[in-house]
C-alpha cells in the first residue's frame, strides 16, 4: 500500500509526465486554450493511460516474454494501444453514448501519444507488477491532467492580458510552460525513487 | 528478422480481426439523414447556431430537436436543402436575426458593488466575484462583445452598455458566445417588443439594485397574447414566435419592456430617451 501511494505521489508531482519528463507535450500545448477542453482531454488521458498500462503489461509478460520477442516492445505496444483504444471507442459508442460524446473526440487523438507509450515502456523498465503498473499509469495520467488544468487556467487568463505582439499565442504559452516546469522542479526530493 | 516480421504480422492480423468483430458486435444504427444534413450545412463549425459544430446541429435536426433553419450562416438556401432531406416543406421567408442585448441597466440606473480596476475585459471581470455590477446577471459594460464583432456592428455607448447596429449585424453569434453573462441573444429583426432584463433575482432585490430590471410582477404576461410572454424563474421572457402589440410595453411598471424597431421601420427616438441610451 505504501509503495502504491508513493508511486502515485511520485507520478503526479515529482516525476510529472508533462513538466518533468516532457512527455505528452503536444496535447499539453494543443488543447490547453480552454479549461473545458483541457478537462475533456485529461479525462480521456486518464482513461486511456490506465487501460493501456494494464493491457501492455499483460501483453508484455504473457506474449512477448514467452516468445522471447522483448526487442519488439516499442512497435508492438503502439499496435496494442491503438487497437485497444479503437475497440474501447466502438464499445463506448454502443454502451455509453454520453461518455463517448465527452471523451469521443479526444480518444483517437491520444492513441499514439508519447505519454501513453511512455508510461507503457516505463512500466516495463521499472519492473512493476500488474497492480503497480495500473496505479502508475493512473497516477501519471492524473499528473498530466493536473498540469493540464493549471496550464489551461493560466492560459485562459493570459489571453485577456496585454501580451507583446511577437509573443502572442504559442510563444507565451511555451514560456509559461517552462516556468511551470521550473516550479515543478521544486517537488524534487519529495519522494526518493 | 523473419521472426519479427511474422510476429508483427500476426499481431496486426489478430488486432484487425478483433476490431472487425467488435465493430460488428457493437454496431450502432446511425440515422443516414444526419450525414446528408451535415453535407448540406456549411461545415465551418463556427458555432453560430449555439452548438459545438455542424455535426451536432445535423444530429439535432435529424432528431427533430432543432429547426431546419437553425443555421444562421447557411440561411435560406441551406434551410431549403435540409427541408428536402427531412421531407418537410420550407415556406421560405427566413426572418433575419440580429444580436440584441437583454439588459437595460446602464451606469445611470444600475448599481455597482465595487470599483473594478482590472483588465478591461468582461471575461476577466466575471472571474472576479462575477463582476462589479450589483446585478449578477447584468451587462458589465467592458466591451468584450464590441471587440469580437467582426462586422463592426457593436459599439459601446458612453453609458456603459453596448449597442447593436442591426443593419451591420449578420447574426454570426460571436458576441453571443463571448458574453460571460450570456445576455446577448439573436432575435428576429421584425419583432418590436423586447424585455431588456436577464435577471432571475427576486423583485425586491432587483428594485434595490436596478431601476429598469424585471421584478417579476407578471403584468405583461397577463396583458400580452396567451403564451407570448412567459415567466421563467422570476423573469419575464418574450417568445419571439408571437407578434406582441406595442401596448404591452406600457403596462410594465419598471419600463423594462420596450418597443424597439430593429429593422428601421419605426421611430426609436422616444425609446432611447426613456432608456437613457441603454438600448
Tell which residue, A35, A33, A18, A8, has the closest CA to residue A114: A18
Inform me whether the pLDDT recorded for A117 exceeds 60. Answer: yes
Of the listed ranges A3-12, A142-151, B71-80, B148-157, the one predicted with least confidence: B71-80
What's the pLDDT at B278? 42
Tell which residue, A78, A55, A79, A56, has the closest CA to residue B11: A79
Residue of A nearest to B122 (CA): A160
Band of pLDDT at residue B275, cut at 50, 70 and 90: very low
Mutation for testing the A interface, residue in B1, B5, B19 having most A CBs under 10 Å: B19
Band of pLDDT at residue B26, cut at 50, 70 and 90: confident
Are B78 and B113 contained in the same domain?
no
Residue B69 lies in a domain: yes
Q: What is the CATH number of the domain that holds B37?
A: 1.10.15.40
For B38-61, the pLDDT digits (tens) are: 888 887 776 677 677 788 888 888
Are B78 and B103 contained in the same domain?
no
What's the pLDDT at B264? 67
Enclosing domain of residue B71: 32-94
Band of pLDDT at residue B276, cut at 50, 70 and 90: very low
Q: What is the CATH number of the domain that holds B200?
A: 3.30.70.20
Are B102 and B207 contained in the same domain?
yes
Number of A–B residue contacts, CB under 8 Å? 47
Distance from CA of A33 to the nearest CA of B (A): 14
CB contact under 8 A, A69 and B124: no
What's the pLDDT at B93? 59
What's the pLDDT at B36? 84
Residue B25 lies in a domain: no
Inform me whether the pLDDT recorded for A58 exceeds 90. Answer: yes
Q: Is the ipTM of this complex over 0.85?
A: no
Are B87 and B116 contained in the same domain?
no
Are B74 and B150 contained in the same domain?
no
What's the pLDDT at A129? 92
Percent residues over pLDDT 90 in chain A = 38
Residue of B nearest to A76 (CA): B8
Burial category of B204 from C-beta neighbours within 10 Å (exposed 0-12, middle 13-18, buried 19 and up): exposed
Q: What angle do CA B7, B8, B10 make, to 5 degrees?
A: 65
For A71-95, the pLDDT digits (tens) are: 989 999 999 999 998 888 888 888 8
What's the pLDDT at B200? 92
Which of B94, B116, B133 delimits the end of a domain?
B94
Are B152 and B254 contained in the same domain?
yes
Inform me whether the pLDDT recorded for B243 exceeds 90. Answer: no
B112 vs B210: CA distance, rounded Å: 10
Distance from CA of B15 to the nearest CA of A (A): 6
Mutation for testing the A interface, residue in B6, B17, B26, B142 having most A CBs under 10 Å: B26
Count the domains in chain B: 2
Tell which residue, A82, A88, A87, A134, has the closest CA to residue A109: A82
Are B141 and B198 contained in the same domain?
yes
Residue B8 lies in a domain: no
CB contact under 8 A, B119 and A161: yes
Are B246 and B182 contained in the same domain?
yes
What's the pLDDT at B94? 63
For B184-235, the pLDDT digits (tens) are: 998 888 888 899 999 999 989 999 999 999 999 998 998 888 888 989 888 9
Amino acid at each position: 500500500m505504501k509503495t502504491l501511494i508513493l508511486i502515485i505521489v511520485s507520478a503526479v508531482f515529482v516525476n510529472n509526465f508533462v513538466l518533468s519528463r516532457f512527455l505528452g507535450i503536444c496535447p499539453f500545448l494543443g488543447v490547453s486554450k480552454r479549461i473545458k477542453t483541457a478537462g475533456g482531454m485529461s479525462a480521456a488521458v486518464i482513461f486511456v493511460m490506465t487501460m493501456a498500462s494494464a493491457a501492455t503489461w499483460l501483453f508484455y509478460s504473457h506474449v512477448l516474454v514467452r516468445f522471447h520477442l522483448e526487442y519488439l516492445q516499442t512497435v508492438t505496444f503502439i499496435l496494442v494501444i491503438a487497437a485497444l483504444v479503437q475497440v474501447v471507442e466502438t464499445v463506448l459508442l454502443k454502451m455509453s453514448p454520453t461518455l463517448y460524446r465527452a471523451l469521443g473526440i479526444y480518444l483517437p487523438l491520444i492513441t499514439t501519444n508519447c505519454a501513453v507509450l511512455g508510461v507503457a515502456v516505463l512500466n516495463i523498465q521499472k519492473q512493476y507488477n500488474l497492480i503497480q503498473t495500473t496505479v502508475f499509469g493512473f497516477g501519471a495520467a492524473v499528473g498530466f491532467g493536473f498540469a493540464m488544468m493549471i496550464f489551461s487556467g493560466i492560459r485562459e487568463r493570459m489571453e485577456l492580458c496585454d501580451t507583446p505582439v511577437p509573443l502572442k499565442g504559442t510563444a507565451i504559452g511555451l514560456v509559461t510552460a517552462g516556468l511551470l516546469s521550473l516550479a515543478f522542479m521544486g517537488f524534487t526530493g519529495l519522494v526518493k525513487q | 528478422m523473419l521472426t519479427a516480421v511474422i510476429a508483427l504480422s500476426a499481431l496486426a492480423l489478430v488486432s484487425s480481426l478483433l476490431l472487425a468483430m467488435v465493430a460488428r458486435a457493437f454496431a450502432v444504427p446511425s440515422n443516414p439523414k444526419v450525414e446528408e444534413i451535415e453535407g448540406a450545412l456549411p461545415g465551418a463549425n463556427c458555432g453560430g447556431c449555439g452548438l459545438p459544430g455542424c455535426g451536432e446541429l445535423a444530429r439535432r435536426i435529424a432528431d427533430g430537436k432543432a429547426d431546419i433553419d437553425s443555421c444562421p450562416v447557411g440561411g435560406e438556401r441551406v434551410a431549403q436543402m435540409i427541408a428536402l432531406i427531412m421531407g418537410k416543406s420550407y415556406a421560405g421567408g427566413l426572418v433575419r436575426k440580429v444580436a440584441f442585448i437583454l439588459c437595460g441597466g446602464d451606469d445611470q440606473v444600475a448599481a455597482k458593488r465595487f470599483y473594478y480596476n482590472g483588465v478591461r475585459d468582461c471575461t476577466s471581470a466575471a472571474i472576479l466575484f462575477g463582476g462589479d455590477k450589483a446585478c449578477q446577471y447584468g451587462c458589465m459594460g467592458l466591451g468584450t462583445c464590441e471587440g469580437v464583432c467582426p462586422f463592426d456592428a457593436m459599439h459601446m455607448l458612453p453609458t456603459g452598455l453596448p449597442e447593436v447596429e442591426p443593419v451591420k449585424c449578420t447574426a454570426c453569434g460571436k458576441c453571443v458566445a463571448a458574453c460571460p453573462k450570456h445576455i446577448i441573444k439573436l432575435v428576429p429583426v421584425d419583432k418590436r417588443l423586447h424585455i431588456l432584463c436577464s435577471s432571475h433575482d427576486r423583485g425586491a432585490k432587483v428594485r434595490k439594485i436596478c431601476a429598469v430590471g424585471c421584478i417579476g410582477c407578471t403584468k405583461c404576461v397577463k396583458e400580452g397574447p396567451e403564451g407570448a410572454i412567459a415567466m421563467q424563474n422570476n423573469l419575464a421572457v418574450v417568445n419571439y414566435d408571437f407578434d406582441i402589440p406595442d401596448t404591452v410595453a406600457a403596462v410594465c411598471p419598471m419600463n423594462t419592456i420596450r418597443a424597439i424597431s430593429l429593422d428601421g421601420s419605426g421611430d426609436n427616438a422616444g425609446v432611447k430617451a426613456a432608456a437613457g441610451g441603454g438600448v
